[in-house]
């Protein structure tokens, strides 16, 4: 009888694992919740507006992150020894607001996304964070045929 229950639990666990969303790749920046069709990563909390200007969402990781965070408190409640493990579960949520920015840049420099041919101004959420790109002056970006994000030149 115990073997039957254990077998059923194992099958249920496998079904739950296969029904879950894709996992974030190791190469993705911390806090990544989606992969855009142009290869750039997205780190917003919702799908609404995700990958706008990046050809749409290819893969969404956000639900698996939220499910993992939701299951952490349940695990902590069932096992008192797991309480210290609940603190690290909050770390990815804090990291989701900060993206790794490519070294360089600064005043007068724009980030050119070489795969989308769009440049981003300093202070923009994509500034220095897209998968393919480099820093250059706004004048150089325009001269090389890149266009400003959302059609707005830098201030």
Phi, psi of 25 (to 5 degrees): -65, 155
pLDDT higher at 46 or 134: 134
Q: Does one domain contain both 79 and 138?
A: no
The partner residues of 120 in beta bridges, in order of sequence, read 111
CA atoms within 13 A on the CB side of 153: 8
- Examine the domain organization and report whether 34 and 77 are in the same domain: yes
91 plus 32 within the same structural domain: yes
Q: What separation in angstroms does the CA of 105 have from each of 47, 51, 127, 140?
A: 29, 23, 9, 14
How sure is the predictor about 80, in pLDDT bands with cuts at 50, 70 and 90?
A: very low
Taking only the tens place, the pLDDT of each residue in 103-136 is 777 888 999 999 999 999 888 888 889 888 999 9
| Cα gap 9→19, rounded to integer Å | 15
47 & 87 share domain? yes
Question: Domain residues for 125?
Answer: 109-151
Residues 85 and 57 in one domain: yes
pLDDT at 31: 77
pLDDT class for 101, splitting at 50, 70, 90?
A: confident
Same domain? 27 vs 90 = yes
Q: How far apart are CA 30 and CA 98, in angstroms?
A: 8
Residues 87 and 122 in one domain: no
The order of strands in the sheet holding 41-42 is: 41-42, 34-36, 57-60
């Amino acid at each position: 009888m115990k073997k039957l229950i254990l077998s059923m639990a194992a099958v249920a666990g496998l079904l739950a694992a296969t029904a879950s969303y894709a996992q974030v790749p190791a190469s993705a920046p911390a806090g990544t919740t989606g992969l855009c069709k142009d290869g750039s990563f997205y780190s917003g909390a919702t799908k609404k507006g995700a990958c706008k200007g990046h050809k749409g969402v290819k893969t969404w990781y956000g639900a698996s992150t939220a499910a993992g965070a939701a299951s952490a408190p349940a695990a902590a409640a069932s096992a008192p020894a797991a309480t210290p493990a609940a603190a690290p579960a909050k770390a990815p949520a804090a990291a989701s607001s900060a993206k790794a920015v490519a070294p360089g840049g600064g005043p007068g420099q724009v980030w050119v996304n070489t795969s989308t041919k769009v440049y981003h101004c300093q202070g923009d959420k994509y500034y220095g964070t897209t998968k393919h790109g480099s820093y250059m002056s706004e004048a150089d970006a325009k001269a090389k045929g890149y266009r400003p994000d959302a059609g707005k030149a830098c201030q």
